[in-house]
Chains A and B, each alone.
Chain A
Amino acid sequence: MSTMATTHRPFRSATAEPLSVRWLLIGFTFAFLIVFLLLPLIVVFVQAFAGGIKAYFAALADPDSLSAIWLTLKTAAIAVLLNTLFGVAAAWLVAKFEFRGKDFLITLIDLPFSVSPVISGMVFVLIFGAQTWLGGWLIDHDIRIIFAQTGLVLATVFVTFPFVARELIPLMQAQGSDEEYAALSLGASGWQTFWLVTLPNIRWGLLYGILLCNARAMGEFGAVSVVSGKIRGASNTMPLHVEVLYQDNKMVAAFAVASLLALLALLTLGLKTFLEWRHGDELAALRGR
Chain B
Amino acid sequence: MGTIAIPHLTRAPSRRRAMPGFGLTLGFTLSYLSLIVLIPLAALAFNAAGLGVGGIWKVLNTSQVINALKLSFGGALVAAAINAVFGSLIAWTFVRYDFPGKRALQAMIDLPFALPTAVAGIALTALYSVPTVPSPAQGWLGVPLEALGVKVAYTQLGVIVAMTFISLPFVVRTLEPVLEQIDRQYEEAAATLGATRWQAVSRIVFPALQPALLTGTALAFARAVGEYGSIIFIAGNLPNLTQIAPLLIAINLDQHEIGAATAIAAAMLALSFAILFAINLLQAWVRRSERKSA
Contacts and interface: CB of A to CB of B under 8 A. Distances in A.
Interface of A: 14-18, 22, 25-26, 28-30, 32-33, 35-44, 46-47, 50, 82, 85-86, 89-90, 92-93, 96-97, 99, 105, 108-109, 111-119, 122-127, 129, 131, 154, 157-158, 161, 177, 180-181, 184-185, 189-190, 193-194, 212, 215, 218-222, 225-226, 238-240, 242-243, 246, 251, 254-255, 258, 261-262, 264-266, 268-270, 272-273, 287-289
Contacts of B269: 115-116, 119
A198 B177 CA distance: 27
B21 A37 contact: no
A15 B89 CA distance: 17
A126 B269 CA distance: 16
Contacts of A38: 108, 111
Given A33-B109, A119-B246, A221-B116, 12 more contacts: A17-B201, A36-B165, A40-B120, A89-B32, A119-B44, A126-B47, A158-B36, A194-B21, A215-B113, A242-B119, A261-B115, A262-B119
Interface string B72-107: 000000000000001001101110110101010111
Contacts of A41: 111, 115, 123
B53 interface: no
B interface, by DSSP: helix, strand, loop or mixed? helix
B140 A39 contact: yes
Nearest to A125: B253
A273 B265 contact: no
Interface stretch (B12-20, B63-71, B149-157): B12-20
Interface in B191-246: 191-192, 197, 200-201, 222, 225-229, 233, 245-246
B75 to A, nearest CB: 14
Nearest to B186: A15
B70 to A, nearest CB: 16
A47 B137 contact: yes
B57 to A, nearest CB: 19
B119 A261 contact: yes
B117 interface: yes
Contacts of B245: 116
B229 A115 contact: no
Interface of B: 8, 16-17, 19-22, 24-26, 28-29, 32-33, 36-41, 43-44, 47, 86, 89-90, 92-94, 96-97, 99, 101, 103, 105-120, 122-124, 126-127, 135-138, 140-141, 164-165, 168, 174, 177-178, 181, 184, 187-188, 191-192, 197, 200-201, 222, 225-229, 233, 245-247, 249-250, 253, 256, 258, 261-262, 265, 268-269, 272-273, 276
Contacts of B226: 114-119
B25 A93 contact: yes
B261 A242 contact: no
A89 B24 contact: yes
A129 B257 CA distance: 12
Contact of B43 (A40, A127, A225): A127
8 contacts: A37-B109, A40-B120, A96-B22, A114-B276, A117-B246, A119-B265, A126-B262, A127-B43
A113 B26 CA distance: 22
A242 B188 contact: no
A161 B36 contact: yes
Most buried by A among B37, B44, B96: B37
Q: Which of A37, A40, A189 has the most CB of B within 10 A?
A: A40
